[in-house]
Amino acid sequence: MIREVHPIEVESYRRLRARLDTSHFPPLTRSVVERVIHSAADLEYASDLVMDEGELEKAHAALHGGAPVVVDVEMVAAGITRRETVCRLRDAVAGAGLTRSAHAVRLAYEQVGPGALWVIGNAPTALEELLTLDAAPALVIGLPVGFVGAVESKAALRESGLPAVSNVSEKGGSAVASAALNALLYHPVPPSEETS
């Protein structure tokens, strides 16, 4: 994918790197950290985000190989550029012990099956529900925001052993979740992967 970068974005990254040295991060981790910081203008994400470079490499290959991308809300979908996403929130219904967001995750899993990239930036209950499924995700970007359940759901994601991008604090949201996915989407595909 050839992406034309706007001069404002170029200057924004220049200023970000002038204030924060990200050169010690491995390539995909650096891409995610910088894009999340860029989306929120919050340098604290550099020490708040948790991810593994090897997992990001596999997720990057899956994403560029056509794996489905599932999002918890339309705001996350709106932030993901140049890629179709699956969001089933409009079809979901809350029930006894099940939020609408959790039901949407069930519906999405029924649609896409295992191997998808899941991007959750809004609802901790969506992340909690995903962890109960045998979704075998390529990656879970679990960055829900809030004072109720967000920290706990992200801790549960890290404890699950699933390949993930998360953060430790209550911070998160649609913009940062979609930014993390876009970082993988925009990162160049190695020539060996392009031909295979």
> CA 79 from chain center: how many Å?
11
> CA 54 from chain center: how many Å?
16
If phi > 0 it is left, if psi is from -120 to 50 it is alpha, else beta; for residue 142 that is beta
Q: Is 64 a catalytic residue?
A: no
At which residue do the structure tokens 């295979």 appear?
196
Choose the catalytic residue: 6, 24, 38, 187. 38
CB neighbours (10 Å) of residue 170?
Answer: 14
CA–CA separation, 69 and 71 (whole Å): 7
CB neighbours (10 Å) of residue 147?
Answer: 7
Residues annotated as catalytic (active site), given as ranges: 38
